[in-house]
Amino acid sequence: DRLKMHLDYSLKKFEIDKYFHYSITADDLIIEYQKPNPKGLLDILKYCPHKDIKYFGISVDDIIAGNNANIETIGVIDSNSDKITMKNNFKHLGAKDILENINDIIDFLDKNEQK
């Protein structure tokens, strides 16, 4: 459960754990159920008390998995990616929003929490 440990550490370190009520990592899923398969997201939906769910992804597989789980997807352009290509890929796949930087997630969450 190395990925789960890293996830929990990062969420606490950046003080964003309040936004995450339940999480699933690749450690929790057999290979056939990993992204772009939506199983992990569908499992989260079973435990999530909220209806307004957003899925942030830095890859095409993330956006595909979110779409297949019928969850609003937000594309996040990774600093190591070609920004124009990723923005076009996310738009083409129907990401609801696209963030230019992973650091924009907190502002995005704060704005949406106030709605």
Q: Which of 60-64, 67-71, 74-78, 109-113 has the lowest mean pLDDT?
A: 109-113
Measured between alpha carbons, how far is 8 from 73 in angstroms, rounded to an integer? 22
Q: Kindly indicate the confidence band of residue 114, based on its pLDDT and cuts at 50, 70 and 90.
A: low
Model's pTM, two decimal places? 0.84
| Residue 66 · residue 94 · CB < 8 Å | no
What is the average pLDDT value for the chain, to the nearest integer? 89
CA dist 104 → 39, 43, 75, 100, 112 (Å): 27, 26, 11, 7, 12
